[in-house]
Structure 1
Amino acid sequence: MTLEQFLDRFDGPERSVVIVNRTDPDPVLNMLVDTFGDDAVRVVDGRVTDASGDRRLTDGAGTTGLTARELATTGVVDGEGEPVPALDVDVLRRHDDVPFDGDDPDEIENLVLLMEGDEVVAGSTLGELGDAVLFVNSDLYITGSRSLADVDLPSVISGLDDATFTLRGYPESNRQKLLLITISRFIERAAWTAGDGTLRSSFQRLSRIDDEVGTREVYERVSETGVDTHLYGVPDELPADLDAVIHAGDDPDFTDSWFVVYRPPEGPHPAESDPESDLVRGVEGGVGLLAVETEPRVWRGLWTFDADRVSRVNRYIERNL
């Protein structure tokens, strides 16, 4: 069995990324499509609409979520003094089961929601999402300009855990691969923060570790904390003077996989931590990313906090690579 066949055993929920109440959403909409792809999530322009007297949040495809009575207010007026429906950011903040990041209620027109079926799963302001993936490029991580301590996941991205995805690399997309890089750095930060446990990471070509200054710095810092660090890839050039175990090979699991898996010392387990801290959840319970290049520059995979999935991926890599 290969990692691609192993990945086929996992499935995940279908989710939608919804832009709410933007007066000119097309540029942001296009950017979200280019970032998240068109497989795991459907990116649509959402509005608060009136349906038989009970306004509901819709995603443009007829899917309903939280009622406007729960999520919206009509205490907003337009330039002509007429009341207009608007989402109330404080309602999201009060829903403990709906993670939300954002500080300024005035940014509500820049809100991006993640929906699963008819439920709002998470919310992020465009600013939070932009700082993480929309308004940056991979050079931020490759050069080390963004340090490990600065890597965090907006709620809309962390809410994509366990959702299977298909993403495209350059030149098909300039942005989608950045999502994999961001999640990878988050997992590396969890290992670095923990300072123990095991981190397993693949690079396709091991020369990338020394070619990318930011990547080299990350793995120097992680290994120096005492994390048992394992690196996998084609041995075109082995990294020098790095306290890590090197696993080299040239079969498809080495050439076509992208994984970053952190296993805490006591093994992956459900972490009952601060619900607002994905980092604590990853440090305490484990977190992993697995993606496979199914055709040139096309990646299929998922990332997860699920203890069983993290255990199974870690065990497969440990036994087969």
Structure 2
Amino acid sequence: MKELLEYLREQVITLTVYNYEGSDERLETLAGAFSGAGVAVTTDTTGRGSPTNLGVLHRGDEVFGARSVDEWEADDGFAAAFEGDDSDRAEIPHLPSDGMTISPETSRTKMVGISRTFERRALRERGGRLVAGFQTLSTITGSERTRAVYDRLANSGVSVTVCGYPDATIEDPPFEIFEDTDERFREYWFLLYDGNGNDSRKAALVSREQDPSLYDSFWTDNPETVDQLFALGSAEYPELL
């Protein structure tokens, strides 16, 4: 899933705060405000160490705007940049990461909630292709609810593949199992659903474990992005997708 995660990072607009001087709590609040719009927040330093607290909005080398952290936090800072009149929007274009959420420290509980939301979409659709990776197969065997959800998905008509390191045996599964014996996907929690041809049902979650029970996560219901992830995944991991 490394390639898919890197692809998602390339699509994201980033606010890089240079020479940040402030508390971790303030930075986390700023990141939370931006993540809902599909914007990641990072920090960096310049050789001279100045100016301080300068937030540059960019995608790669393409710069869309620069303001101080105070201005980005102000009521007419972040909001005006994305919800202002036409003259404001000319400076900062429509976000290509529209429909995407970024969360650098997502809890395991949150990950389960996101997965359940996307699984329900597939259950309602009763068709299509769903590929899910939960790091280890014991995630399935250790949760009666998770096993029941995936049994229902497969029995409803969804083509399901579950990926995980084979640290447990799943008895009589109605879905396909991909045993990640070489641990290629051991660090990744992911779910890709193609919507069964229905754009409104398409969804994807791709994340990597950073610390125990904390994940660097991207999730989206943008149909074009989901299609691209399936195409990339099929090219990189044909044995899985």
Shared fold (TM-score greater than 0.5)?
yes
After superposition, where does 1:1-321 map in structure 2 within 5 Å? 3-11=1-9, 12-13=12-13, 40=40, 61-63=70-72, 64-65=74-75, 118-119=81-82, 161-167=99-105, 176-266=107-197, 271=199, 281=200, 283=201, 286-294=202-210, 296-315=212-231, 316=233, 319-321=238-240
- List runs of 5+ in structure 2 lacking aligned partners: 16-24, 43-68, 84-96
Identical columns (%): 22
- Verify the 8 A CA contact 1:201 1:259 in the aligned structure 2: yes
- For 2:108 and 2:114, the matched residues in 1 are separated by 10
Q: Which runs of 5+ in 1 are unaligned?
A: 16-28, 43-59, 68-114, 121-158, 169-175, 272-280
Q: Deviations over 1:80-109 (max 9, x none)?
A: xxxxxxxxxxxxxxxxxxxxxxxxxxxxxx
CA distance in 2, matches of 1:250, 1:291: 20
Q: Deviations over 1:107-136 (max 9, x none)?
A: xxxxxxxx667336xxxxxxxxxxxxxxxx
Name which structure has the greater RCO, CA cutoff 8 Å, separation 6+: 2
Q: For 1:257 and 1:295, how far apart are their aligned partners in 2?
A: 12
Report if the CA contact (8 A) 1:200-1:230 is conserved.
Answer: yes
Compared CA separation, residues 295 and 313, structure 1 to 2 (3 A) = farther
The CA distance in 1 between the partners of 2:33 and 2:153, in whole Å, is 31
CA–CA separation in structure 1 for the residues paired with 2:162 and 2:33: 28
Shift of 1:303: 0.8
- 1:62 corresponds to which letter in structure 2? E
Please tell me the residue identity of whatever aligns with 1:236.
D
- In the aligned structure 2, how far is the partner of 1:251 from the partner of 1:117? 49
Following superposition, the deviation at residue 66 of structure 1 comes to: 6.3
Report the Cα offset of residue 212 of structure 1: 0.9
What is the CA–CA distance in structure 2 between the aligned matches of 1:264 and 1:294, rounded to whole Å? 29
AA of the residue aligned to 2:102: T
C-alpha change, 1:117 and 1:241, in structure 2 (3 Å) is farther
- CA deviation after TM superposition for structure 1 residue 62, in Å: 2.6
RMSD: 3.7
Deviations 1:23-68 (A, max 9, x none): xxxxxx99x96xx6998469xxxxxxxxxxxxxxxxx93334569x
SS in 2 for 1:164: strand
Contact 1:232–1:246 (Cα < 8 Å) also in 2: yes
- Compared with structure 1, are the counterparts of its residues 213 and 38 closer, same or farther at alpha carbon in structure 2 (3 Å cutoff)? farther
Question: How far apart are the structure 1 equivalents of 2:187 and 2:79?
Answer: 30
Query: TM-score, structure 1 length as denominator?
Result: 0.48
CA–CA separation in structure 2 for the residues paired with 1:198 and 1:226? 9
C-alpha distance in 2 between matches for 1:194 and 1:180: 22
Counterpart code for 1:307: P
